[in-house]
């Protein structure tokens, strides 16, 4: 199996909807950050890549026909060269909406992730380190909280992709445009169903609240233990 479609759009530009759409169109499985988080080999490969080590992209994506979202998008130029027959899709979104979405979701994970979990689960620690290196350092130079800087990075990325990738190989796509431009670009029929519109912000924020609550689990266990010692 070889990559047939490579996503070049940053996370939170409709990448999960695009993943589902590509899989419905026959370009699955589609690689996404979700795949990395549940696959130990993927975590390891992208952690190595984040440190500048050379990885075999054909091995990384041997089970996938398409790839969207971070961390793959950070290496879109390498992947475009490595898979010369793959088509490139650049997901776009209103810049203010994009920044606010990222700030309220994926940017909040690392600072709120319980340190004790990172200590007892090395794989989780490695995954978070990979995300930090790949997204917040590589893409945003550690300055994502500077909105003007982050938005400039976002806009400059779009212009760079348009400059690097030949026009005949590139589709600039917004989820609001739906199936038609995507299907025309990929040369497949338009499905007789609505374009997938997956807004994971609600679930993401709910899961984040659970993660934050887990920060206090060790302290709660200590209190319960002490109460048991004194009152039992």
Give strand pairing partners of 201. Answer: none
pLDDT for residue 197 is more than 90: no
User: Which one is predicted more confidently, 190 or 124?
Assistant: 190
Residue 123 has pLDDT above 50, yes or no: yes
**What number is the average pLDDT over the span 16-34?**
96
Round to whole Å and give the CA distance between 39 and 19.
17
Q: Is the pLDDT of residue 104 over 70?
A: yes
Who wins on pLDDT, 193 or 201? 193
The fraction of the chain above a pLDDT of 90, given in percent, is 71
Domain chopping of the chain, boundaries:
5-231
Per-residue pLDDT of 43-55, as tens digits, reads 999 999 999 999 9
- Give me the residues paired with residue 46 across strands: none
Which parts of the chain fold into alpha helices (H)? Answer: 15-24, 33-38, 40-50, 57-60, 76-82, 95-104, 109-112, 115-120, 122-131, 147-164, 179-186, 201-214, 217-231
Write down the pLDDT at residue 229. 45
Question: Cα 150–155–158 angle (5° rounding)?
Answer: 130
The yes or no reply on domain 5-231 and CATH 3.40.50.300 is yes
Q: Which of these, 104, 52, 57, lies nearest to 76 by C-alpha position? A: 57
Q: What is the mean pLDDT of the chain?
A: 88
Each residue's pLDDT tens digit, 89-103: 999 999 999 999 999
| Spatial distance between the Cα atoms of 56 and 201, rounded to a whole number of angstroms | 33
Confidence of residue 219 (pLDDT cuts 50, 70, 90): very low
Q: Does pLDDT of 139 surpass 70?
A: yes
* Cα–Cα distance measured from residue 34 to residue 122, given in angstroms and rounded to the nearest whole number: 18
Residue 225 has pLDDT above 70, yes or no: no
Distance between CA 19 and CA 73 in Å, rounded? 13
CB 101 within 8 A of CB 16: no
* Cβ pair 29, 190 in contact under 8 A: no
The rounded distance, in Å, linking the Cα atoms of 9 and 97 is 15
């Amino acid at each position: 199996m070889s990559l047939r479609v490579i996503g070049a759009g940053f996370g939170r530009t409709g990448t999960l909807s695009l993943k589902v759409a590509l899989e419905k169109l026959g370009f699955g499985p589609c690689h996404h950050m979700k795949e990395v988080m549940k696959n130990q080999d993927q975590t390891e490969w992208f952690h190595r890549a984040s440190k500048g080590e050379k990885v075999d992209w054909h091995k990384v994506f041997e089970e996938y026909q398409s790839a969207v979202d971070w961390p793959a998008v950070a290496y879109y130029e390498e992947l475009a060269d490595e898979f010369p027959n793959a088509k490139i899709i650049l997901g776009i979104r209103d810049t203010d909406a994009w920044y606010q979405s990222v700030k309220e979701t994926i940017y909040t994970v690392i600072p709120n992730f319980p340190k004790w979990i990172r200590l007892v689960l090395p794989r989780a620690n490695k995954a978070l380190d990979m995300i930090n290196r790949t997204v917040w350092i590589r893409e945003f130079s550690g300055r994502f909280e500077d909105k003007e800087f982050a938005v400039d990075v976002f806009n400059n990325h779009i212009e760079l992709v348009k400059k690097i990738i030949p026009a005949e190989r590139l589709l600039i796509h917004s989820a609001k445009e739906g199936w038609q431009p995507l299907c025309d670009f990929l040369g497949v029929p338009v499905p007789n169903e609505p374009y997938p519109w997956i807004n994971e912000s609600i679930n993401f924020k709910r899961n984040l609240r659970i993660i934050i609550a887990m920060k206090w689990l060790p302290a709660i266990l200590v209190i319960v233990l002490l109460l048991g010692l004194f009152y039992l």
